Amino acid sequence: MTNLKPSDKALVPFVSVDHMMKLIHHIGVEPMLAGLAEYIEADFRRWELFDKTPRVASHSEKGVIELMPTSDGDVYGFKYVNGHPSNTAEGLQTVTAFGLLADVSNGYPVLLTEMTMLTALRTAATSALVARLLAPKGSHVMAMIGNGAQSEFQGLAMKAICGVDEIRLYDIDRAATAKCAANLAGQGLKVVECTSAEEAMLGAQIITTCTADKQYATILSDNMVGAGVHINAIGGDCPGKTELAPAILHRAGIFVEYPEQTRIEGEIQQLEPDHPVTEIWQVLTGQAQGRTDEKQITLFDSVGFAIEDFSALRYVRDQIGETGLFHPLDLLADPDDPRDLFGMLQRARG
Amino acid sequence: MTNLKPSDKALVPFVSVDHMMKLIHHIGVEPMLAGLAEYIEADFRRWELFDKTPRVASHSEKGVIELMPTSDGDVYGFKYVNGHPSNTAEGLQTVTAFGLLADVSNGYPVLLTEMTMLTALRTAATSALVARLLAPKGSHVMAMIGNGAQSEFQGLAMKAICGVDEIRLYDIDRAATAKCAANLAGQGLKVVECTSAEEAMLGAQIITTCTADKQYATILSDNMVGAGVHINAIGGDCPGKTELAPAILHRAGIFVEYPEQTRIEGEIQQLEPDHPVTEIWQVLTGQAQGRTDEKQITLFDSVGFAIEDFSALRYVRDQIGETGLFHPLDLLADPDDPRDLFGMLQRARG
């Protein structure tokens, strides 16, 4: 009667960092970015179904730890993510993350996975999905301002999803630019290393800002931004951290994931709380207009929303069955008789 | 230069259900209950330090999934827990849980552990800690009404921490009572199987109610409860789920973990929102009075609070180093250069 092996019900598939990297290579970086964008688009199109709990943040002097839960009524997901700008100096990641999916009908987890890699991919997939929706027709050159951990993923997502074929890099740290250029070599993109943001923006229809300053910064000033571009603003993503001069915001059509969150965390924290913004999901479903004309400046004020993580978790869950790239994790106590937890404990005595 | 093995920084100690059961047997059930009670008491004594975010609940028709985060400023912890009463009929646990500790200074997780077993222990440890504080001097007989998964842990915690030597069992399901009695045989408690709640309460100074009805139930009616007892009410722990007749509440001194949460989830959801209650931590620190006299009915309206899970996680974290009862889990992507996540991915290509 002794059953020392955990039952199937007790086991939760776990995707380690190693397995995630193998999964990415198995699928291919660009196909995976495109697949993630499909899942994110599908979930944005059924936006109103979702339980949109605000993220639960625990702030300290050094940074923040957040839980980002959501549910579509059948599946529940959450992401654990930290943000600690000073980590880089200690050789640690500024942001690490993991996530979980569970079955709403019984509360049992069905997937636990690393999400540091996965978040990098879903962020880039979201940017590219939105750029495809809003950028001027025929956009093919992107300025990439800020060449840190997110930059290569942005470049490849814009290539795979929007048809970008040239990426122009700038970072205040030349080593970061060199790193990004080296990583993107041979990936089918024309890569140009630039020595100023202005140079990076020459001929670019898409301008992506993704810098790490935790302060009100002005990565783009008003006179730098001409008509008819799409700005993909990623780095301004928490209170006190912005990248764009307010004047740019006043000239742009502003598109956001979830206004309640973006008004606190995004570029628009610099604006009045009733400044008009358009929700991406409404553009996708045709309930709101996207770009109005070729001269409009469109701005995606991206902060990252729980539904994007949910989509990414769903995508991974759908991929791992076939590939076997997971470990079964003995996470849940599952006694033969649910009322007999103590009996299970007693029977486990070696 | 290829480094396929995860670095130490990437690895999070993971305590599986199997390891948790081994840890409990290694330490011993009663010593572990006593150890948990010590950690919980220590954290209750520094109650004001804690970030007491309310739990974040996602409700559905079938049940609830909750995240319970807290932090003492140095360490952050959260528990994932579900509650699905209909699970038992499908051979699943009503409640499953896992938890995590992280370092506030850098946001890196330092422990991931099953918490189904651990929650059973911390709930019993909390009950016994409070009973030691509030029950009449010389209490040694406990009535245990509801003989499900929590019942044996309650019995052993009351024995280890309060000196209970006799436990009187009653459940509407006789099989549950027989299961509990069999599990407690040879554990040093006199175990009496009873055929009614009244019989179970004969001579008991401590009355524990822990039933699973998800409805306003009356496990104890007013005339059943005499003077000078301590009621440890565990089963009433969510909106709409209570066990005690309101008249008992009006006769009792009521003690709670965190009033903001207990007024929604506990027995006192049946009372006016300003009905006086005493916080356990204030009794422990001497800021509030416990039992006033030997004839008082004291009631611990227990719903389970995040700080108890935090204490339990701290306890496990402190124990596993020595015993080695954990797996290192490759949960965090940790590139040599934090800005070079993509390079790490490229180098992992087989």
* B window 145-164, beta carbon within 8 A of A: 147-153
Give the A window 59-88 contacts with B, CB below 8 Å: 60, 62-65, 67, 69, 71, 73, 76, 78, 80, 82-84, 87-88
As a dihedral over the C-alpha atoms of residue B168, residue B173, residue B178, residue B180, rounded to 10 degrees, the angle is -60
Does the distance separating the beta carbons of B25 and A149 come in below 8 Å?
Answer: no
Q: Is the pLDDT higher at A152 or at B264?
A: A152
Min mean pLDDT across A37-41, A118-122, A241-245, B226-230 is at A241-245
Q: Is residue B1 part of a domain?
A: no
> Which residues in chain B are contacts of A73 at CB distance < 8 A?
60
* Mean pLDDT, range A71-79, rounded to an integer: 96
Residue B171 lies inside a defined structural domain of this protein:
yes
Contact B130, B327 (CB under 8 A): no
Is B212 contained in some domain? Answer: yes
State the burial class of residue B123 (Cβ atoms within 10 Å of its Cβ: 0-12, 13-18, 19+): buried
Which residue among B60, B183, B348 places its CB closest to the CB of A21? B348
Q: Pick B338's closest partner by Cβ from A93, A342, A343.
A: A93
Q: H/E element holding A100?
A: strand A97-103
CB contact under 8 A, B90 and A106: yes
- Regarding whether A69 and A173 lie in a shared domain, the answer is no
Q: Which residues of A touch B69 (CB under 8 A)?
A: 56, 58, 65, 67
Same domain, B204 and B278: yes
Residues A293, A235, single domain; the answer is: yes
- Residue A333 confidence class, pLDDT cut points 50, 70, 90: confident
Closest chain A CA to residue B330: A16
Give helix B116-134 / helix B17-27 axis angle, nearest 10°: 40
Please list every residue in chain A whose beta carbon sits closer than 8 Å to the beta carbon of residue B67.
56, 67, 69, 78
In a domain, B3, yes or no: no
Could you tell me the pLDDT band of residue B216, with boundaries at 50, 70 and 90? low
**Using the beta-carbon criterion (under 8 Å), do A333 and B148 form an inter-chain contact?**
no
pLDDT at B1 over 50: no
**For position B4, what pLDDT does the model report?**
42
Q: What is the pLDDT of residue B2?
A: 34
Residues A143 and A289 in one domain: yes
Contact present, A109 and A332 (Cβ < 8 Å):
yes
Residue A309 has pLDDT above 90, yes or no: yes
Q: Judge if B231 and B314 occupy the same domain.
A: no
User: What is the pLDDT averaged over residues A170-179?
Assistant: 96
Of B298, B247, B304, nearest in space to B271 by CA: B247
Residues of B involved in catalysis: 237
In a domain, B112, yes or no: yes
Do A79 and A143 lie in one domain? The reply is: no
> Is A49 an 8 Å CB contact of chain B?
no
Q: Are residues A291 and A184 in the same domain?
A: yes
How many Cβ pairs within 8 Å bridge chains A and B? 263
Alpha-carbon span B336 to B7, nearest angstrom: 9
Q: Is residue B168 pLDDT above 90, yes or no?
A: yes
pLDDT in tens, A132-148: 999 999 999 999 999 99
User: DSSP for A167-181?
Assistant: EEEE-SSHHHHHHHH
Asked if A237 is an active-site residue, the reply is: yes
The strand pairing partners of A330, in sequence order, are A11
* Banded pLDDT at B214 (limits 50, 70, 90): low
Integer Cα distance of A296 and A230 in angstroms: 8
Catalytic residue selected from A43, A171, A237, A309: A237
Average pLDDT, integer, range B126-154: 97
- Position A214 scores a pLDDT of 60
Scanning B105-144 for CB atoms below 8 A from A yields 105-109, 114, 116-117, 120
Q: Does A99 touch chain B if contact means CB atoms closer than 8 Å?
A: no
Q: At what angle do helices A306-323 and A116-134 cross, to 10 degrees?
A: 120
Question: Cα–Cα distance between B202 and B143 in angstroms, integer?
Answer: 8
State the residue for tokens 């002794």: A2
CB atoms within 10 A of CB A275: 13
Q: What DSSP string runs through A15-46?
A: E-HHHHHHHHHHH-HHHHHHHHHHHHHHHHHT
Please report the pLDDT score of residue B334 as a whole number: 79
**What is the extent of the structural domain holding B34?**
8-117+307-347
Indicate if B286 and B311 belong to the same structural domain.
no
Alpha-carbon separation of residue A326 from A235, A269, A316, A320, B341 (angstroms) = 32, 40, 10, 7, 21
> Residue A58 belongs to what H/E stretch?
strand A56-59
Choice between A341 and A338, residue whose per-residue pLDDT is larger: A341
In angstroms, rounded to a whole number, what is the distance separating the alpha carbons of residues A330 and A311? 25
ipTM of the complex: 0.91
Using 50, 70 and 90 to split pLDDT, how confident is the model at A7? Answer: low
The answer to whether position A1 is within a domain reads: no
What is the least distance, in Å, from the CA of A110 to any CA of chain B? 13
Same domain, yes or no, for B141 and B288? Answer: yes
Distance CA A65, CA A58 (A): 5
Query: Quick one: pLDDT band at residue B265, thresholds 50, 70, 90?
Result: confident
pLDDT band at B239 (very low <50, low <70, confident <90, very high): confident
| Predicted local distance difference test score (pLDDT) of residue A2 | 34
Candidate from A14, A29, A148 with C-beta closest to B339: A148
Lowest mean pLDDT among A321-330, B180-189, B196-205: A321-330
Flag whether pLDDT at B144 surpasses 50: yes
Write out residues 201-230 of B within 8 Å (CB-CB) of A. none
How far away is chain B from the Cα of A97, in angstroms, using its nearest Cα? 7
Same domain (yes/no): A144, A278: yes
Based on the domain organization, do A143 and A213 belong to the same domain? yes
**B62-108: pLDDT as tens digits:** 999 999 999 999 999 999 999 898 888 888 888 889 999 999 999 99
Name the residue with higher pLDDT: A220 or B138: B138
Q: In the numeric block, which tokens belong to residue B208? A: 């524990």
Q: Provide, as residue numbers in chain A, all residues whose Cβ is less than 8 Å from the Cβ of B24.
A: 345
Please check whether residue A82 is in contact with residue B107, taking contact to mean a CB–CB distance below 8 angstroms.
Answer: yes
Report the amino acid identity of residue B287. Answer: Q
A78 vs B contacts (CB less than 8 Å):
67, 80
Which residues 311-330 on chain B approach chain A with CB closer than 8 angstroms? 329-330
Query: What is the tens place of the pLDDT at every residue in A106-123?
Result: 999 999 999 999 999 999
Question: CA A324, CA A19: separation in Å to the nearest integer?
Answer: 9
- Lowest-confidence region among A44-58, A67-81, A164-178, B116-130: A44-58
Q: Which of B65, B78, B113, B154 to mutate to test the interface with A (most CBs of A within 10 A)?
A: B65
- Is B92 in Cβ contact with A334 (below 8 Å)? yes
CB A210 within 8 A of CB A220: no
Per CB-CB distance under 8 Å, the chain A contacts of B108 are 82, 92, 96
Q: What is the 3-state secondary structure (H, E, C) of A288-318?
A: CCCCCCCCCEEEEECCCCHHHHHHHHHHHHH
**How close, in Å, is residue A20 to chain B by CA atoms?**
9
Report the CATH number at residue B79: 3.30.1780.10
3-class DSSP assignment, residue A187: coil
How many angstroms separate the CA of residue B193 from the nearest CA in chain A?
A: 17
Output the pLDDT for position A4.
Answer: 42
Q: Which of these ranges, A193-202, A213-222, A312-321, has the smallest mean pLDDT?
A: A213-222
In angstroms, the CA A62 to CA A277 distance is 31
Nearest CB to A92; choose among B6, B108, B153:
B108
Element holding B109 (H helix, E strand): strand B109-114
- % chain A with pLDDT above 90: 77
Q: Is B54 near chain A, with CB under 8 Å?
A: no
Q: Do A332 and B116 touch (CB under 8 A)?
A: yes
Residue A171 has pLDDT above 60, yes or no: yes
- How far is it, in rounded angstroms, from Cα B112 to Cα A90? 23
Q: Is residue A259, in this structure, part of any structural domain at all?
A: yes
CATH of the domain at B207: 3.40.50.720
Quick one: B72 and B162 in the same domain?
no
Compare CB distances from A179 to B16, B149, B343 and report the shortest one's residue.
B343
Instruction: Determine whether the interchain pair A333/B6 forms a contact, defined as Cβ–Cβ distance below 8 Å.
Output: no
Number of domains in chain B: 2
With respect to residue A280, please indicate whether it lies within any of the assigned structural domains: yes
Exposed/middle/buried for residue B285 (C-beta within 10 Å: 0-12, 13-18, 19+): middle
Q: Which residues contact A287 (CB under 8 A, 6 or more apart)?
A: none
B185 at interface of A, judged by CB pairs closer than 8 A: no
